[in-house]
Amino acid sequence: MNFWLAPLHGITYYNFRNCFIKHFHGIDYAIAPFIAAQSKETINPKKLRDLFPENNTELHIIPQIMGNKPNEVKETIDVLHEVFGYKQFNWNIGCPMNPIVRKKRGCGVMPFPDLIEETVNEVCGKTVAQFSLKMRLGLHSQKEGLEILQRMNPYPIDFLCIHPRLGIQHYEGNVNLDVFEIFYQATHHTLVYSGDINDVSFFLHLQQRFPKIENWMLGRGLLQNPFLAEQIAGALHTTSEQNRFMDFYHDYSEIILALYGEKIALSSLKELWHYFAAFWKLTPEELQKILRINDYGVFNNSCADI
C-alpha cells in the first residue's frame, strides 16, 4: 500500500514537500505540480528549480507535464531526462480549471482521444520514459474516459491516476464510485486512486470496494489533516498532534519567509490556512478573522495562538 502526495499547483513544491515529510510520515511518492510542455529549444532547465535533483533527495517524485502538442510533450520529457535524469513522467489531462480547459489542456484534452493516443504513441515510441496519465472520468461524459482507457490498453502505460469526477464538476458533489468501478474493471493498467480521501473511514470503504488498488493519492484531505496517512496506517505517537503540527508550521513559515519575503510568504500561508482550518476545527468566522490580517508577524502570532 503506497500513498502519494497530490500535485497541488501553487502549494506542493519542493520546499513544502521536504518540510512536510520531515514532520509527517506515510507518504511514499509525489507527483510534482505541472510544468508547461515546450519545444526543446525554448525550455530553460535552470528555471525548473522544483525539479532539481538536489532539491528532491528525500522523496521519490515524478515530474508532471501539461500540454496538448505531442512533440512538445515528448521534447520536454527528453530535456528533463537528459538534464536531470528523470525516467518517470506524468501527463496531466485531468485539471478542471476553466482557464486550462479553454486552452484544450488538462481535462480539456479528454474529448480528443486521437490527440491523446498520438501523444502517448509519440512518448512511448520515441523516448525511454515510463509514462503515466492523471485524468478524470471525462470532461463532459464518462464515455470520454472509457474511450481513453480502451485506446491506452495496447500501450505500456506506467499507471493511470484517476479522479472520479467529470471535469465540469470541478470539485463539487461526490466522487462517482459506481462509474469509477466501471473504469476499474475496464483497464489492465495499474491504477492510482485520487479523490476525497479525507478520513480513515472513507479510505477503508474504498480499499474494501477496490481491493486491487495499492496506490492512493492524498491531496486536499492531507492538507486538512497532515496526519491522515499515519492514521490510515495505524501509527501511534506520544507527541501531541497539535505540537507536531506547529513544529511543521514554524519550520515551513521560516523557510518561505527566507526565500520570498513577508508579502509572498503571507499570501502563501493564507492559502494554506484555508485547509489547515479543518485540522484546528476553526469556524468560518475564526478563519476569516485570521485571513484579514495583513501583517506577517501579527498573522503568524495569531496562528500560533490558536
Q: What pLDDT, on a 0 to 100 scale, did the predictor assign at position 305?
A: 84
> Based on the number of CB atoms within 10 Å of its own CB, is 182 exposed (0-12), middle (13-18) or buried (19 or more)?
middle
For 72, half-sphere exposure in the C-beta direction (CA atoms, 13 angstrom radius) is 14
Q: Which phi and psi (to 5°) does residue 66 adopt?
A: -120, 125
Q: What pLDDT, on a 0 to 100 scale, did the predictor assign at position 306?
A: 83
Percent of the chain with pLDDT over 90: 96
Query: Residue 56 above 70 pLDDT?
Result: yes
Q: What pLDDT, on a 0 to 100 scale, did the predictor assign at position 63?
A: 98
Helix orientation angle between 296-304 and 241-279, rounded to the nearest 10 degrees:
110
In this structure, which amino acid lies at residue 46? K
Q: What is the pLDDT of residues 219-256, one digit of tens each?
A: 999 999 999 999 999 866 667 899 999 999 999 999 99
Mean pLDDT of the chain: 96
Q: What pLDDT, on a 0 to 100 scale, did the predictor assign at position 238?
A: 60
Q: How many helices (H) and strands (E) does the chain have?
A: 12, 10
Query: Is 210 in contact with 181 (CB distance < 8 Å)?
Result: yes
160: its cell numbers: 493511470
Q: Which phi and psi (to 5°) does residue 89 adopt?
A: -145, 145
Q: How does DSSP assign 59-70, residue by residue?
A: SEEE-EEE-S-H
How many C-beta atoms surround the C-beta of residue 37 within 10 A? 23
Q: What pLDDT, on a 0 to 100 scale, did the predictor assign at position 5?
A: 98
Nearest one of 64, 178, 174 to 129, comparing CA atoms: 64
Query: Distances in Å between the alpha carbon of 302 and those of 218, 286, 289, 296?
Result: 28, 11, 10, 10
Query: Is 12 in contact with 5 (CB distance < 8 Å)?
Result: yes
Q: What is the pLDDT of residues 11-54, one digit of tens each?
A: 999 999 999 999 999 999 999 999 999 999 999 999 999 999 99
Q: Which DSSP state fits 190?
A: -
